[in-house]
Amino acid sequence: MANTTKRMLSMSLKKLLSKTTLDSITIQDITDDAEVSRKTFYYHFQDIYDLLGWMLERDAENLMGEKVDADNWKPALGRVLTSAREKKTLVVNACHSVSRELVERYLCRNIEYVMRPLVVREAKQLGAGAEGVRFVLDISKYSLCGCILTWIDRDMQESPEELLAAISVLEVEDIDSLLRRFAANGNKN
């Protein structure tokens, strides 16, 4: 029952975000659309940002589907980009509101999830340790996150496929190069 109510509230937020920015939406708007009381909303979520975070996490879980590994990170990222483009108005409205930081955290967390298997595999092969993995993951996730946020800021003019092709310049060779340099500097922990 609790997840059903959360899904109803999430669907109402998505519906409202397809029309306006998050900072223009009130809890009353959401509860009216979901036909539940404000008390019910607060039973499940602390505020609208808590609901948005829950909604983004469920969407990410559904999009990732299969386990992401070092060989299928691009299709996983492609699914995220395609879904974002399909929900363009919702995504743009969420990002162009006061919740941009929440969207950025969501993106970074999911990009790290997608990239981690690739970076760990390459680090093991090159003898780079945990510090190298952390360093390269940070570079990768913040670079990709910046690219995706810029794409959103530009109203998603490029197709998801074009953006993925541009992002794909971050290939295994680049990750290897960073890990090699990190390990060469004595950072093998």
- Write out pLDDT tens, residues 75-85: 888 888 888 88
Q: Which of the residues in the chain have pLDDT under 70?
A: 1, 63-66, 70, 98-99, 170-172, 186-189
pLDDT at 83: 85
Structure tokens at 181: 């340099």
Do 159 and 77 form a contact (C-beta atoms < 8 A)? no
pTM of the full structure: 0.77
pLDDT at 45: 96
- Write out pLDDT tens, residues 98-114: 667 777 888 888 888 88
pLDDT at 42: 96
First to last CA, the chain: 47
